[in-house]
Amino acid sequence: MRKVYWRPHRVSRMELIVIAVIAVVGVFLCERIRVREQQPMYEEKIRAAHIARDAFNAIKAERLRIGPAIDPETDPQESGIIGLLMSPVTTNTGSLPAKQTTINPNFAAVIVHFLERAGVKEGDTIGIGVSGSFPAINVCAYSACEALGVKPIVIASVSGSQWGANLPRLLWIDMERLLFKKEIIHHRSIAGSRGGVEDRALGLSREGRDLLDRAIKRNELIAIKEPTYLDSLNRRMLLYDEYAGNTPMKAYINIGGGAISVGTSSGKKAFHEGLTRTVTASQASMDSVIGRMALQGIPVIHMVNIRRIAERYGLPVQPIEPPAIGEGDIYYREAYHPYLPYGVLAVVILTMFAFIRLDWGFRILKSGRSQGSNRPSRPEQMV
């Protein structure tokens, strides 16, 4: 004997509305209920941030020892890394809010993130170009290399912009040597130039240029004192090649807006902040270290526009208190619940099956049907 099924001619409008409401509520719950998801390289990021914090503390102790006193108005964290408005070795203007934002060891985690995305692994060799403009970011780059076991080849522009490492007795290469002696870092710059205009600190007084030259000498770095911009650029590239040897360079990090590293003012804008893997025509036209590295197919990490980087990765802008290690989206991010969408989909499918195939909707909602409706008051028989 054949089975008999009972079913209405069509699904009522009320049943469709109920199914739609359940689906909408499910989507709303999926959007509202999020989980915190640990980002890749979490342990390495934490380790890099701790190294950076130790380095910050060592620099602060040295600043307190040699002076001048820390100004809490310009350096609210009293880190000792914020420099002066002007000094004999200050090359150009600088943004105090940007310098204050850099005093955060979690930027080391951001650089670990960039290096990981660039494909850099333990034992790899990378190039770094630093200046005295962003000493805290220099610290974070070195700390990221320490945490990852990466070998950096570093060339420094010794001078700095306003509020950077512009104390004649505590320039960036002095900070670097201090951290090396304390074994917080295990690599130093191989060479240094005056930096500034044309990489020769044009526009500084003779006193300022002499202070920079003496700093390079006391830190026992190779002095880059070429007569022209192009000569200085070629010398840097030769030094990177010489110290890399037969080991391919896996990334290049530029910190700040050094003339040789990024080129002219238009060159500074050609590369966006963060990681760049492929070079555009406009970027290729800028003859600079970062441009030449990119043309060789080397991923470049451009640490400029610090506020944008901070906002992108959930780091505070101009923090008053020292940021805690592990804070920021660079460590965790909000993500959709891994199982909730499947649960919602299952509920919607079961509801549709129950309402349409099993006629539960007809039975549940039949009491609300109007008496004057022309539609049948019960399902019709179908064989």
299-348 pLDDT tens trace: 999 999 999 999 999 999 999 999 999 999 999 876 666 666 777 778 77
pLDDT tens-place string over residues 204-247: 999 999 999 999 999 999 999 999 999 999 999 999 999 999 99
Overall average pLDDT of the 269-280 stretch: 81
pLDDT at site 333: 74
pLDDT at 33 exceeding the cut of 80: no
**What is the pLDDT confidence band of residue 156, given thresholds at 50, 70 and 90?**
very high
| Least confident interval from 23-37, 54-68, 208-222 | 23-37
Average of per-residue pLDDT across 13-19: 72
Residue 96 pLDDT grade (very low, low, confident, very high; cuts 50, 70, 90): very high
For residue 110, the model assigns a pLDDT of 98
| Three-class DSSP labels, the chain | CCCCEEECCCCCHHHHHHHHHHHHHHHHHHHHCEEEEECCCHHHHHHHHHHHHHHHHHHHHHHHHHCCCCCCCCCCCCCCCCCCCCCCCECCCCCHHHHHHHCCCCHHHHHHHHHHHCCCCCCCEEEEEEECCCHHHHHHHHHHHHHHCCEEEEEEECCECCCCCEECCEEHHHHHHHHHHCCCCCCCEEEEECECHHHECCCCCHHHHHHHHHHHHHCCCEEECCCCHHHHHHHHHHHHHHHHCCCCEEEEEEECCCHHHHCCHHHHHHCCCEEECCCCHHHHCCCCHHHHHHHCCCCEEEECCHHHHHHHCCCCCCCCCCCCCCCCCCCEEEEECCCHHHHHHHHHHHHHHHHHHCCHHHHHHHHHCCCCCCCCCCCEEEC
**How many percent of the chain have pLDDT more than 70?**
81
Average pLDDT, stretch 174-186? 97
Give 361 or 119, the one with higher predicted confidence. 119
